[in-house]
A and B are shown apart, each in its own frame.
Chain A
Amino acid sequence: MNAADLEVEVRRLVALILKLPADATDMRRSDVAEWDSLKHMEIVFALEDRYHVQFDESEFAAMTSSSAIAALLQPRLET
């Protein structure tokens, strides 16, 4: 999957967990009130289930937007 497609897919998944319509542009945690810490963990869990990966605890804080998440995911999916 190329980076652009992955970013769209991640954006869709983030919106799904937050129960929001998927944005056409990057979703940033700082801009979305619904994206609180509990929802953040749900997003992490949903990503792990969907892509069969596991994030390190130290990466949770770096997942500040749908594009940042996609960037973290991309190398894992290539291996």
Chain B
Amino acid sequence: MRAEWQPRLFGIPDRAALAECVADWPVRDIRVRVHRNHGFEPVASAAAPYAAWNSLAIQWSIGMYDDSLSGELHGDADVDVVWLDTARLTGLADGEMAPWLVSRLRQMREQTANPIVVLAWPLAADARESLERAPLTAIHFPDLDAMANALGPRWLDMRAESISGTRLSNRACLLVAGELACRWLPACVLPPIKCIALDLDGTLYAGVLGEDGATAVDLTEAHRMLQECIAAMRRNGVLLALVSRNDRADVDALFAQRHDFPLRLDDFSAVEITWEEKSVALARVATQMRIGLDAIAFVDDNPGELASVASSGPVVTVHAGDDACLTAVALDHVAGMFRWHTTREDVLRDTDLRMSVARATLAAAGASADDYMRSLRPRLEYHVGAIGDVARVADLVRKTNQFNLALTRMSEVDIVRRLERHSGNVVTIALADRLSDSGIIAALVGSCDGDTLHVEEIVVSCRALGRRLEDVMLTRALQLMAEGRAPTQVVFVVQQGARNSPAREWVARYSGNDSLPASCRIAIPIARVAVRTPSTAIVETVRYGETIA
């Protein structure tokens, strides 16, 4: 049924057709408070099917009209949305809009740690620039002016303003609803999609490779556009996998002969050309990429394959219909595909993953720990109080499932608040070796209270696991957290999750416990973290971050 919805959601806008889309599958709630000075209801009512297609349900709490944005925040929410028609703010002179809005957002930030999505229109270019430059944590400014320009005169509809409370047209409201439900809100609360797994026949081109042959399958203009979109997503850090029922020799010939394809075989980090069930192939892709199935979006032209995959695991599915342009739009609207920012680590991920095979070979060769380190020449860089790394720390805390000790999922704002109290409350670890640069692969967040160093969260990216570095780097990071303070003990907060046994096993071993209850606090004397014998092959450096005014 999700496949049937795609043309209605991403084709020609039709509010009646959208209203017919009612999910009969489980959905996850996102609670959203809306602070507004014009009508939001036409957006909220249209967002439901877009959210449901992504297995989400948005619970809106829409406030009263308030030009001053000074209302108190009531009730719990996951995200706050500001819905502002700036033309209604007649008391503000030119140049006053950005400073006024920044001051209102700062006041709102004092009341909530939620991500805030600001949908303010119209905004002059200099006002937008000022807002984007303002030091506001986890506050995002999607560009509604660009959307208005794209729609032209269809952006506004003055007929309905007196009734719906907004001068935005139906078309504009539908467009905003789709972006909010599929892109902006999920980017605030859900982990990102890390991999797009693609079928070949009928998906990346028209035709059947095994029957038509490599030179005869048809790269239509729409398929070229789809491939170009996917290539752009790859450049932004999304990994690609090929999952196709074909013969490997045919697939090799296809990519060797079709120089007109924007995608090359080498762009795919995992290639599963197999006659097995696609769910089995996707499970292998997930294992190879060290990600969960829920971090994969699978694109296939066969609804039966999609249904089979969807029933076997939490993979998100996208139907490649006859119109490949529509497939591209749908793929772009999978929750978790859009990100507010692309980190350096996103871009490094593909190379790092490919090098993991070489590392595994070295580890399997049975070399001693020291020889293994000498062969890799790891370089660890610790960064204490790294305000510039907060977005990456929040990403790690939100996305990491395996080595995530407390599963706090704390927000960017939570992390900044700890940094504001003491720079040593947040330490990041970047890792590189002779094979690749992995970027920031671990973070520790905590606080020091009297004689106790509270470690509220330790996260290590799965890409860094298995390199025999956990003890060395986490011990050094704990020393740095304690530096300049005088704790006598370290207390780790530990939670049990579905997949975080690597973190729990590490802390059990590190603290000398055989087993741990599901939820606990483990205390060890500070003297324990004073002991460290890193291999001389490991190069370590420490940086201290900017202090926060």
Contact = CB atoms under 8 A, between A and B. Distances in A.
Interface in A9-30: 13, 16-17
Contacts of B163: 37-38, 40-41, 60
Contacts of A46: 14-16, 19
B39 interface: yes
Given A16-B20, A38-B41, A42-B45, A49 B164 contact: no
A41 B42 contact: yes
B485 to A, nearest CB: 56
Of the candidates B13, B14, B39, B163, the one having the most CB atoms from chain A within 10 angstroms of its own CB is B163
Nearest to A18: B19
Contact of A49 (B14, B41, B45, B159): B14
Given A38-B41, A41-B164, A48 B170 contact: yes
Q: Is the interface of A mostly helix, strand, loop or mixed?
A: helix
Contacts of B45: 42
B160 interface: yes
Q: Is the interface of B mostly helix, strand, loop or mixed?
A: helix
Contacts, number: 48
A41 B20 CA distance: 17
A46 B163 CA distance: 15
A42 B41 CA distance: 9
A41 B160 contact: yes
A46 B165 CA distance: 17
Of the candidates A16, A42, A57, the one having the most CB atoms from chain B within 10 angstroms of its own CB is A42
A13 B19 CA distance: 9
A44 B160 CA distance: 10
Given A37-B163, A41-B160, A50 B39 contact: no
A46 B41 CA distance: 14
Interface residues of B, number: 17
Nearest to A49: B14
Interface in B352-401: none
A51 B177 CA distance: 22
Contacts of B39: 38
A57 B165 CA distance: 14
Contacts of B13: 49
B159 A42 contact: no
A47 interface: yes
Contacts of A42: 15, 42, 45
A38 B19 contact: no
Contact of B16 (A13, A38, A40): A13
Contacts of A44: 160
A1 to B, nearest CB: 15
Nearest to B158: A57
Interface in B5-60: 13-17, 19-20, 39, 41-42, 45
Contacts of A40: 163
Contacts of A13: 16
Interface in B152-166: 159-160, 163-165
A18 B525 CA distance: 64
Contacts of A50: 14, 16-17
Contacts of A17: 15-16, 19
B164 to A, nearest CB: 4
Contacts of B14: 46, 49-50
A17 B22 CA distance: 12
Contacts of B17: 49-50
Interface string B131-164: 0000000000000000000000000000110011
A45 B15 contact: yes
19 contacts: A16-B20, A17-B19, A38-B42, A38-B163, A41-B164, A42-B15, A42-B42, A42-B45, A44-B160, A45-B160, A45-B170, A46-B14, A46-B15, A49-B14, A49-B16, A49-B17, A55-B159, A57-B159, A60-B159
Top 10 nearest A-B pairs (CB, nearest first) are A45-B170, A46-B16, A50-B16, A46-B15, A57-B159, A49-B14, A41-B164, A16-B19, A38-B41, A49-B15
Interface of B: 13-17, 19-20, 39, 41-42, 45, 159-160, 163-165, 170
Given A38-B163, A45-B160, A49-B15, 4 more contacts: A42-B42, A46-B14, A49-B16, A60-B163
